[in-house]
């Protein structure tokens, strides 16, 4: 048995060696001879890591003509007709002082009020369209300062101003110049969502441009006690100084005239413009009247001052600076009540001569022109809220007290 065991062991080892050799050849064939399925779906290579460019960044493959951008083209076409408007007036102000004998007196000090805005030249002979509230301060002098987009300066006269429409027409008095102007026959379809461009002088920064979209139509906006209807809403930046400037589309066609901005905490991108459907007919009519091509509109049957006399029984006149000094009242203006009709709504409410009207409704009244135009259509039974200053003399001292009185028109 001892001589036969090594022989069988050798045979077993030999057989095992042959079997392992065969398996090695089979495994080698699989790894070097891929199947058809493996060849059709190769393993994708790993993505290369993105690296920042080294050195100078390559320029664009070709030049880009920025002058062909829509907004750039609109600005180039429209801006020459956009102007800056500066209106101002001198307002007397009084400072209470004591003389060397400790007597109280009022020393007059003149103060200048100023407003800025924009406008649009609408004819080659220098007629300008803007907002009425832009030139309101210059209503008495009827003159405002104009600066063209080129920097040239002129003086313009207020031809007409419509507070209800918030539109005004101005005229530059220089017949030697042909001004660049905007043709009002170019109007936009005013589609919701269309791109709009606002041009003007926000905060006095002339030749400024902003853009947005036409956000909404037929909006209403209330300023003091006056409601403006049918306005366009936009998210283009409209700030103080933009008022009176044009709002146009990407064709350079008129969308409207910028008018107001809704302001307040957490309120952004809500501006308003008067639509061209209102602006163009008003401007064409005002131009025709100014050039003598059409007779002027009929004057109202009664003025606001006359309506207050007829419906409320009050006679009033503007408070002058000298009268304010004599009465020793420290207010910038108002309407002095000179007569109260017996048995009138004013008399029944206890209103007396010498009282001063400083407001009607929510509107501040410093002089006759500040009276709301709605008073001209005042009907019997309509209520009117008056803000009054009453003067009471105590020895040599005049005390002033503010009161509100609600009257019913007769």
Single out the catalytic residue among 115, 123, 133, 208: 133
Give me the phi and psi of 144, to 5 degrees please: -135, 160
φ and ψ at residue 113, rounded to 5 degrees:
-95, 140
CA-only gyration radius of the chain, Å: 40
Residue 355 near residue 334 (C-beta atoms within 8 A): no
> Which of 115, 118, 149, 166 is labelled catalytic?
166
Question: Do the Cβ atoms of 349 and 407 come closer than 8 Å?
Answer: yes
Token pair for 266? 């957490």
Which two three-digit tokens encode residue 36? 């058809």
Range list of H helices, 243-377: 276-290, 304-312, 321-327, 345-348
Concerning whether 166 is annotated as a catalytic residue, the answer is yes
- Minimal CA–CA distance to 261: which of 286, 297, 218, 231? 231
Q: Which residue from 313, 214, 229, 309 is spatially nearest to 269, judged by alpha carbons?
A: 214
DSSP 136: G
Q: How many CB atoms lie within 10 A of CB 108?
A: 12
Classify 306 in phi/psi space as left (phi over 0), alpha (psi -120 to 50) or beta: alpha
Q: Which residue, chain included where needed, has tokens 């091509």?
A: 293
DSSP strand pairing (356-360 vs 335-340) = antiparallel
User: Could you give the CA distance from residue 398 to residue 106 in angstroms, rounded to a whole number?
Assistant: 13
Tell me what percent of the chain is helix, strand and coil, each rounded to the nearest 5.
25, 35, 40
Instruction: Answer yes or no: 210 catalytic.
Output: no
Residue 138 phi, psi (nearest 5) = -95, 15
Contacts of 106 (CB under 8 A, 6+ apart): 94, 95, 96, 97, 325, 328, 330
243 is catalytic: yes
Write down the catalytic residue from 123, 201, 208, 243.
243
244, 118 contact by CB (below 8 A): yes
Cβ atoms of 200 and 244 closer than 8 Å: yes
Task: Please give the positions annotated as active site.
Answer: 133, 166, 243
């Amino acid at each position: 048995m001892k001589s036969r065991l090594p022989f069988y062991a050798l045979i077993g080892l030999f057989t095992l060696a042959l079997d392992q050799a065969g398996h090695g050849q089979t495994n080698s064939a699989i790894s070097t001879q891929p199947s058809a399925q493996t060849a059709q779906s190769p393993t994708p290579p790993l993505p290369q890591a993105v690296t920042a460019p080294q050195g100078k960044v390559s320029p664009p493959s070709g030049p880009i003509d920025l002058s062909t951008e829509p907004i750039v083209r609109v600005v180039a076409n429209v801006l020459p007709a956009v102007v800056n408007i500066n209106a101002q007036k001198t307002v007397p102000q009084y400072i209470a002082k004591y003389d060397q004998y400790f007597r109280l007196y009022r020393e007059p000090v003149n103060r200048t009020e100023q407003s800025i805005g924009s406008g649009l030249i609408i004819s080659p002979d220098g007629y300008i369209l803007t907002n009425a509230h832009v030139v309101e301060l210059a209503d008495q002098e009827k003159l405002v300062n104009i600066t063209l987009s080129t920097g040239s300066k002129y003086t313009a006269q207020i031809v007409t101003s419509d507070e209800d429409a918030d539109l005004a027409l101005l005229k530059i008095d220089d017949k030697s110049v042909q001004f660049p102007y905007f043709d009002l026959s170019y109007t936009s379809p005013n589609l919701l969502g269309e791109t709009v461009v606002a041009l003007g002088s926000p905060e006095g920064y002339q030749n400024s441009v902003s853009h947005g979209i036409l956000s909404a139509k037929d909006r209403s906006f209330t300023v003091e006690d006056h409601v403006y209807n049918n306005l366009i809403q936009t998210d283009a930046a409209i700030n103080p100084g933009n008022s009176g400037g044009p709002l146009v589309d990407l064709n350079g066609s008129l969308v409207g005239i910028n008018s107001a901005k809704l302001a307040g905490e957490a309120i952004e991108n809500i501006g308003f413009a008067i639509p061209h459907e209102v602006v163009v007919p008003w401007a064409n009519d005002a131009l025709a009247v100014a050039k003598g091509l059409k007779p002027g509109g009929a004057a109202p049957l009664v003025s606001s001052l006359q309506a207050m006399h007829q419906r409320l029984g009050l006679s009033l006149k503007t408070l002058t600076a000298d009268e304010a000094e004599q009465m020793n009242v420290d207010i910038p203006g108002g309407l002095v009540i000179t007569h109260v009709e017996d048995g009138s709504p004013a008399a029944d409410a206890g209103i007396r001569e010498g009282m001063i009207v400083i407001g009607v409704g929510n509107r501040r009244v410093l002089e006759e022109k500040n009276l709301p135009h709605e008073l001209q259509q005042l009907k019997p039974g309509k209520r009117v809220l008056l803000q009054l200053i009453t003067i009471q003399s105590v020895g040599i001292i005049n005390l002033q007290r503010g009161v509100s009185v609600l009257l019913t028109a007769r």
